[in-house]
Chains A and B, each alone.
Chain A
Amino acid sequence: MVSDSIANVSIPVASSNPRDFGKKKRANRAAKLKQCKLDARREQWLSQGKNKGSKQELNGGGEACEQGMQVTNEKGQLMEKLAIKPRGEAEENGGYTNTYSDFDSPSNSPTSHTSSVLEGNYSGTNFTGGSSSSSSSSSGGCYSVSMSEEDNEGDDDCLDDWEAVADALAATDKEQEQHNSSLDSPPEVHMSFQLEVSDGKVPAMDTSQQNPKGRGTIPGFPVSFRAWRPDDEFRPQSLPNLSKQYTFPMNSERHYRGGSVWGCKSAAIPTSCPICCEDLDFTDTSFLPCPCGFRLCLFCHKKILEEDGRCPACRKQYKHDTVGGETTKDAGGLMFQVARSCSMISRS
């Protein structure tokens, strides 16, 4: 079942942006991933809009999900490509499952178009053997009714929102798992999220990790099912906030560390000066006046130099030539330069 789901997930994406294949291989895949997701999502939406009719095909035919999806996305043009490409190459599977994970969330969205396509997905994957009607009733049907008007008005807004939401979901799917109670949700969806985290891996590995978790609890986005059902109108406004909170977990964590445990000499760069508690700007964070690794802002460093000139952390005398990195001849200066470059790398 899991392997099936992977295949199904990968297919729609592949079909949606075939021209990206060449690009992707040539360029850095990670860098292109975002753009790829975007394209895939937009195409998905467009094709869904055009293919409302084909939806009937999907629903009616209880056949394998792959074919249904192909029809919806590319109107059957890309059948051959699909058959060849997505299956064999593990890397591409990974990449495209990633892409798919982003329009997982649109699938949940109440839009009628999406729901139709999703039905195709779900009927093939989650509800194996189940007819399309059952899938629609369980997953997408109710939303399409309530939100169809809004879809017509602001597709683009929804898209943007969903991009943000998808990112947030991907970043926090573990947290979401805890919140999920018991809903019969597609394990493969969960997988796709995981794949996004560890991109480029062979899907089989991920699935093995997934299954113990994903089975009983509800993976990735059943949460969204529940959250939106009562009042769908607020969904677009409220969800982007989630993304703001969760897209940069590293930053927040770093901030916390910097604020509280500033005394430690670890490589972590505090975000505020431990002496004056003011925020460190970029110049400050790239300023490492002492080999012990204790960082402080230039202002406090200058004040200390005016007095005893010792590092607050290790009490060693500051080397005056390190100030501002103007002289790089001495060992101290060199160290400063190295530290500066290191810090810049870690920041970027």
Chain B
Amino acid sequence: MNSGNNSNTPATAAPVMPSPKQTQTTAKTVDTQSVLKRLQSELMALMMSGDSGISAFPEEDNIFCWKGTITGSKDTVFEGTEYKLSLSFPADYPFKPPKVKFETGCFHPNVDVYGNICLDILQDKWSSAYDVRTILISIQSLLGEPNISSPLNTQAAALWCNQEEYRKMVEKLYKPSV
């Protein structure tokens, strides 16, 4: 993309365009630019999508940190509850996954007491084709369909088989954040 510009504008634009030698030093800023563009595009797509039960928005001063919310799906033990999450995007996003944590306490087999989430697509199964929207949808569906075999919260995993008791526990522990 740079080559086209250089051929058209020989001398005057040369200082502006990064030469091959400068690309090493400017690589980081270029990356940041592309990450910004990607995040802005995701934000736009998320706001236009109108998905119910999920939302996310960047924090005031940092587009690399988002706050998201998901609501428990209907006909699950989490119905009627809402959870806040924080998403922190690395500089090499989307080639690396964002760090996603529950801000609201969530009694769930795959969420530990600190809000860390055990979800494959946020770790080794990450793909750069995922985005905030698909992450939030995945977490939303994870609520209703936990992976019992590798629990972070063993108490929740043990209780999952008794949905009525689990529902009571969810209601008891649910503390909606302000």
Interface, chain A (partner B; CB < 8 A) = 259-260, 262-263, 272, 274-278, 281, 294, 300, 303-304, 307, 310, 312-313, 315
B178 within 8 A of A: no
CB of A65, distance to nearest CB on chain B (Å)? 52
Select which of A260, A275, A307, A313 is within 8 A of B38 by beta carbon.
A275
Q: Specify which chain B residues have a CB less than 8 angstroms from the CB of A304 in the assembled complex.
A: 95, 128
Query: Chain B residue with minimal CB distance to A281?
Result: B1
Query: Chain B residue with minimal CB distance to A297?
Result: B1
Is A278 a contact partner of B34 (Cβ separation < 8 A)?
Answer: yes
Select which of A259, A307, A312 is within 8 A of B129 by beta carbon.
A312
Known: A277-B37, A277-B41, A307-B95. A294 touches B129 (CB 8 A): yes
Q: Specify which chain A residues have a CB less than 8 angstroms from the CB of B94 in the assembled complex.
A: 275
B161 within 8 A of A: no
CB of B120, distance to nearest CB on chain A (Å)? 12
For B119-163 the 0/1 string (1 means CB < 8 A from A) is 000000101110000100000000000000000000000000000
B48 within 8 A of A: yes
Is A274 a contact partner of B37 (Cβ separation < 8 A)?
Answer: no
Q: Specify which chain B residues have a CB less than 8 angstroms from the CB of A315 in the assembled complex.
A: 125, 127
B169 within 8 A of A: no
Smallest CB-CB A-B distances: 7 pairs: A312-B129, A277-B41, A312-B127, A312-B128, A276-B34, A277-B38, A277-B37
- Whole-angstrom distance between the alpha carbons of A274 and B129 in the complex? 7
Query: Chain B residue with minimal CB distance to A300?
Result: B128
Known contacts A277-B40, A278-B37; 7 additional CB pairs below 8 A are: A260-B48, A263-B134, A275-B38, A275-B129, A276-B38, A294-B129, A300-B128
- Whole-angstrom distance between the alpha carbons of A318 and B40 in the complex? 28
A-B contact pairs, 11 of them (CB 8 A): A263-B134, A272-B41, A274-B129, A275-B95, A275-B128, A277-B40, A278-B34, A278-B37, A310-B127, A312-B129, A313-B129
Q: Specify which chain B residues have a CB less than 8 angstroms from the CB of A259 in the assembled complex.
A: 41, 45
Please indicate which of the listed interface residues B45, B49, B95 has the most CB atoms of chain A within 10 Å of its own CB.
Answer: B95
Q: Specify which chain A residues have a CB less than 8 angstroms from the CB of B41 in the assembled complex.
A: 259, 272, 277
- Whole-angstrom distance between the alpha carbons of A263 and B134 in the complex? 10
Is A276 a contact partner of B37 (Cβ separation < 8 A)?
Answer: yes
CB of B136, distance to nearest CB on chain A (Å)? 15
Is B95 a contact partner of A303 (Cβ separation < 8 A)?
Answer: yes
Query: Chain B residue with minimal CB distance to A294?
Result: B129
